Amino acid sequence: MAAAATPWEAAMWSQHGQTERFIAVRALLGPLLREEDVVFDFGCGTARFSEFLPSSVEYVGFDWSPAMRSRAREDHPDAIVVDTLEGTSTFDHVVAIGPFNLRDGWSVKRTINQVELLWALADMSLTLSLFTGASSPAMLSYSFEDISDMASMLDDRPGVLITNQHLPNDVLVRFVRR
């Protein structure tokens, strides 16, 4: 997948759609971001989301594909790209912009479990971009019940914001510690 002509093709998305996701997630983070905060990008792909953050914010990315991590380091040398989540500390903000949308290897139950793990890494907020469109062989679609199940499993009963204003088949979910 990392050898695809463009990073969004590797995930079967369009450049426009991925850019819209990045802009929307950045907008949700905006009121929460402080100078010197650390943003962790789970499923970072090429680490392009780092381009949308202020230079005063530290970016840390992780992708399970070694080829994508290599490409992220090459495409964004100022980004910190980690090879494992083992031994990582917490981050001010955690984002997952689409990795749970690909059916390959994911299920709603597995996503909910992973969201719980990501919440444990987030000191302030966790923001997800999830696909809510019609069933597709390549895409995993989430219902509002699924999203509610995610929220109910998280410790500290976070404040939850759900919006679908950026793309017609996606929803952004932001969990914030109170």
Return the pLDDT at 1.
44
C-alpha 111: how far from its chain's center?
Answer: 12
Return the pLDDT at 13.
56
Return the pLDDT at 12.
54
Which token pair is 43?
A: 């499923």
Contact 130, 173 (CB under 8 A): yes
The Cβ-side half-sphere exposure at 159, using a 13 Å CA radius, reads 7
Sign (positive or negative) of CA dihedral 67, 83, 131, 168: negative
| Angstrom distance (rounded) from CA 42 to CA 64 | 9
Return the pLDDT at 8.
46
| Grouped pLDDT means (10 residues each) for the chain, 178 residues | 47 75 94 95 96 96 95 97 91 95 83 92 95 82 88 84 83 90
Using DSSP bridges, classify how beta strands 170-176 and 122-131 pair: parallel, antiparallel or unpaired.
antiparallel
| Angstrom distance (rounded) from CA 8 to CA 4 | 8
| Angstrom distance (rounded) from CA 98 to CA 128 | 7
- Which domains, ranges and CATH numbers included, belong to the chain? 35-46+55-84+91-176 (3.40.50.150)
